[in-house]
């Protein structure tokens, strides 16, 4: 049974599955569309960070226009524009560059400002961490309404600590959109 995390909660993935090699990060959501005139398009972006919480290079920013990390360890699987079982990211820990200390998963509402959309209009948003080798969900975090006024949210972080991989449920939103996260993590856009 998967560990259900609250905001700020952490789990040692290496402890839960000592032979962990491949991880699937699944992000999903439902949108409230009955009162909205336009559909929602939520996108996942992945930042591969070195020590100091900055991307190793611009190519280590994974999103719908750059689907694979330079080392081939992180692969964005799809861009789902209709909600439900949203988007997936596959991670091969064995291929991951030794420079990667943290991997951040951000979900952004595309054109949120012009469409007057935010996470307050998104239901059942979650991030799930799956041991791909065993096809077993290890942990899940369901976003609460703390980020309801935001158009971009850091859902969670996969990080290395003392040679073990851990996951932290973050749930921190910002109103400025993906560009603010890019600036924070040193992506040249």
| pLDDT tens-digit series, residues 103-120 | 999 999 888 888 888 888
Q: What is the pTM of this model?
A: 0.91
For residue 161, give every residue at least 6 positions away whose Cβ sits within 8 Å of its Cβ, in sequence order, or none: none
As beta bridge partners, residue 161 has 164
Q: What is the mean pLDDT of the chain?
A: 88
The region of weakest confidence among 22-31, 34-43, 148-157 is: 34-43
CA–CA separation, 122 vs 114, rounded Å? 17
**What per-residue confidence (pLDDT) applies to 11?**
96
Domains of the chain are 3-184 (2.60.60.30)
What region, left, alpha or beta, does residue 148 occupy, with left being phi > 0 and alpha being psi -120 to 50 degrees? alpha
| pLDDT tens-digit series, residues 117-130 | 888 888 888 999 99
Give the mean model confidence (pLDDT) for residues 143-159: 86
């Amino acid at each position: 049974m998967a560990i259900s995390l609250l905001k700020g909660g952490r789990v040692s993935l290496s402890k839960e599955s000592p032979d962990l090699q491949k991880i699937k990060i699944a992000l999903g959501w439902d949108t409230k569309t009955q009162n909205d005139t336009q559909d929602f398009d939520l996108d996942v972006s992945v930042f591969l960070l070195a020590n100091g919480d900055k991307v190793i290079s611009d190519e280590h920013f994974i999103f719908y226009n750059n689907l694979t990390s330079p080392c081939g360890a992180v692969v964005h699987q799809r861009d789902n524009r209709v909600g439900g079982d949203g988007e997936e990211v596959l991670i091969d820990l064995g291929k991951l560059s030794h420079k990667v200390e943290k991997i951040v998963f951000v979900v952004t509402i595309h054109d949120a400002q012009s469409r007057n959309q935010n996470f307050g209009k998104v239901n059942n948003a979650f991030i799930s961490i799956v041991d791909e080798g065993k096809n077993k969900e290890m942990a899940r975090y369901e976003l609460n309404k703390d980020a309801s006024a935001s158009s971009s949210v850091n859902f969670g972080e996969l990080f290395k600590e003392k040679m073990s991989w851990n996951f932290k449920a973050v749930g921190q939103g910002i109103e400025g959109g993906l560009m603010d996260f890019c600036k924070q993590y040193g992506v040249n856009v």
